[in-house]
Amino acid sequence: MLILVLRAVPIFCLCIAYTLAAGPHVILWSSQTYGPDGPWHAVTVKLGTPAQQMDLIPAGAWETQILSSSVCSTSTTLSGCNANAAGLFDPEKSSSLVTISETGTIKNGNFCVNGGGIPSMSGDAEWMFDTLSLTLRDGVVGNNGQNTIRNLSTMVISRGYNTLPSGSTYAAEVGKLSLGAPNINQSWVHAGSRFNATFLPGTLFEAGQIPSNSYGMHIGSVAAGVRPSLILGGYDPTRIIGPVSAQPYTILKLPIDLLDIGISVSSGKSPFEFTSKSGLLASNNASIGTSLPVVIDSASPYLYLPKSTCDAITSLLPLTYNPLLSLYIWDVTSPLYTTIISSPASLTFTFRLSSSITANMTISVPFALLNLTLTTPLVSSPIPYFPCRPAQVETLGENYGLGRAFLQAAFVGVNWGGDGLWFLAQAPGPNTPSLSPLTSIFPGDKTLKGADNGWEDSWKGYWEDGIDGDGNAIVPTGSTASGNGTGADIAHTLPDSALSRGVIAGIAVGAVGGVAVIVVLACLLYSRARRRKADRENVNLFAEAHVGNDGLAGVCDRHAGQGYGPSELYTQAPVGELHSDHNGVVGELHGEYKKASVVELP
C-alpha cells in the first residue's frame, strides 16, 4: 500500500501544482528604443547592489550579456558610442557581485548569443554573477511586483564591438537579457562545493512564481506601432494567429526548416505585376534543395540568407546593394518605394510545420516592417534600408537565420521543460487587443493555441489597399519613410476579469485545505530528489550536446565546450583566448584598425 502511495505522489504533485501554481508574469518594456539598425524595443532591468539600471534586448539563452562602463573605450574604426543611452554596468560598484576562477574569460573573441549562433559581437568579457531585479506584472491578479534573481549568470563585456563585412568596426550599443536555458541552474564546482548560477524564468519557476520554465514573446514593431509582449511562464494568445509549429530546440539554437520565400498581396491592387510569387528562396541556387535549415534569433537584427536569395527578393524592389554594409538601401526617390511599404504586400516565409514531412505553415512579414532605419555610427544620417543580409557561411561560419526583422511579425516561445520544444507562429499587426487574459504554459505542454483573430483585420486602418482612386500611393497613418519611431506606454495591461480568476484560485486553495499541505510537502520532497537526479545527469550537458549539432555549425559551435560559458563545468577552466580564426588557431579576430570616417552612402 505504501508503495502505491509513493508511486502516486508524482500524479498528486502535478494535480496540486496545476491547481495552485501562480500564473504567467509579464515583463514590462522600456519607453526607449535602440539600435543603429532598428529601432528596436527593449526591457528595463537593474543589476547589482546598489542597483544599476539598464535597458536590454530580450534574446538568446544561457548567460545575459551586459555592457560594462568601459565599453565606450573600445577602439573602433567608426567613431561614436551610443551605449550610455541604454545604461552601463560598473562591476566595481556592486557589493553583491561574485566571480569564480572556474568560468574563464574571453579575450579578443566572439561571444554569440547562445539562442541563435549568428555572430554579433566581439571583444573581451568575463563571466560574473550578480543580483538582477526587475518589475513583473502578475498575469492573474494584475499587480506589479519587484522580483529579485540572485547570482544571475552574466557575461560582462568590458570591450565590445560589431564588425561590418568591409572590416569596419563600431561600438556595441545595448546588452541582451537571456530568456532562460534547458537547465534551471548553471553549475560549477568551486572551492570544493557546487556553485549555482541562475536564469530568469528557471528561478521564477523553481520558486513557484510561474507555472513552468518557459516564455512567449512577440517583439512587435516601433515604426508600425505594434506593442511588444514578453510573458514568462505563459503567453498572450492574441499574439498567435493560425497554426503553431512546435519543434525541438538544441542546446544553443531554435532551428527550423525554411521551405520557401515568396511575395503575397493580401487585398486590393498589387504594387507588383503579380499578386503572389513563390520560389525566391532557391532562385538561381540549386544547392539549396528542398529546404534550408535556419535559426530564429532575436539577438540579431537581419534576415541572414544566401546571397542568391537576397538578390532574388531585392530584384523586385527599388533597392541598391551597399557592399560596405552588406545591406540593401531603399531608393526613396522611386514611386514604388512608398507604394510598396504602404500596401498590403508581404514577404512570406514557408516553414516545415512541427517537423512534418508533408505539412507546412507560412508567416507573412509586411513590407511596412521591412522598412527599417540605419543611424549613427553606421551612417552619418538616417537612411531606410531593407534588412536582407547575405550570410557569410563559408568565410565567417555564420548560420542562416531570421532575426528581429522577421520577429516583428512572428511569435516565438520556448518550453524549456518537458519534451524540450519551441514554438513559432504568425503574429498580428497594430490592431492587437490591449486587454487580453494570458495563457499558462505547463511543463508538459507540446503545443500552444492562439485566439480566434484574423491577420488581415489586425492590419486594417494601417494600410488602405495601397492605391487610392486616382492611382496614387496611400501612406498609412503612423508610417514614416525612414522607419523612425519612439517608445510609448507599452506596459501590458490585463482584463477586468483577471481579479476574479485570482479569487477563484483562492477558493480552490481553501477547498483543498490541509490535504493540499500534506501533498505539497510530498511534492517538494519528490521534486528535490528529482532535481538532484537531473543535476547528476546534466553534468557536462553542454559539451555533449554539441556533438553532431543539427548540421548548423557556426562560430558559436566552434567556441563552445572549451571551458567557457554555458556549461556544467566540473574541472578547472584556464583563463585564455578563444579561437578566433575558426581553424583552431588562437589569435586576433580583427587585428589593428585605423580610424575611419562614417560610411557615406550615395
pLDDT in tens, 257-292: 999 999 999 988 899 999 999 999 999 998 898 999
Q: What pLDDT was estimated at residue 595?
A: 35
Helix (H, G, I), strand (E, B) or coil at 428: coil
Q: What pLDDT was estimated at residue 408?
A: 98
Q: What is the pLDDT of residues 24-77, one digit of tens each?
A: 999 999 999 998 999 999 999 999 999 999 999 999 899 999 999 999 988 888
DSSP secondary structure code for residue 460 in this structure = B
Q: What is this structure's pTM?
A: 0.80
Q: What is the pLDDT of residues 482-509, one digit of tens each?
A: 333 333 334 433 443 444 344 334 434 4
What's the alpha-carbon Rg for the chain, to the nearest Å? 24
Confidence band, pLDDT 50/70/90 cuts, at residue 166:
confident
Give the span between the Cα atoms of 260 and 290, in whole angstroms: 8
Contact 255, 61 (CB under 8 A): no
Q: What pLDDT was estimated at residue 120?
A: 64
Domains identified in the chain and CATH numbers: 27-201+550-559 (2.40.70.10)
Whether residue 555 has pLDDT greater than 90: no
Give the span between the Cα atoms of 408 and 210, in whole angstroms: 26
Contact 157, 65 (CB under 8 A): yes
Given 3-state DSSP classes, what are the helix, strand and coil percentages for the chain, each rounded to the nearest 5?
20, 30, 45
% of the chain with per-residue pLDDT over 90: 55
* CB contact set of 242 (below 8 Å; sequence gap of 6+): 361, 425, 426, 450, 455
Q: What pLDDT was estimated at residue 435?
A: 62
Backbone angles phi, psi at 233, to 5 degrees: 80, 15
Give the span between the Cα atoms of 94 and 96, in whole angstroms: 6
Give the span between the Cα atoms of 433 and 410, in whole angstroms: 16
Nearest to 449 by CA among 457, 461, 440, 458: 440
Helix (H, G, I), strand (E, B) or coil at 41: strand
Average pLDDT over residues 146-158: 94
Nearest to 60 by CA among 123, 105, 118: 118
The better pLDDT of the pair 395, 412 is held by 412
Q: Which three cell numbers stand for residue 235?
A: 503567453
The better pLDDT of the pair 438, 110 is held by 438
Nearest to 84 by CA among 219, 175, 176, 177: 175
Nearest to 152 by CA among 206, 214, 197: 197
Whether residue 457 has pLDDT greater than 60: yes
Residue 3 parent element (H or E): helix 2-20
Average pLDDT over residues 229-250: 96
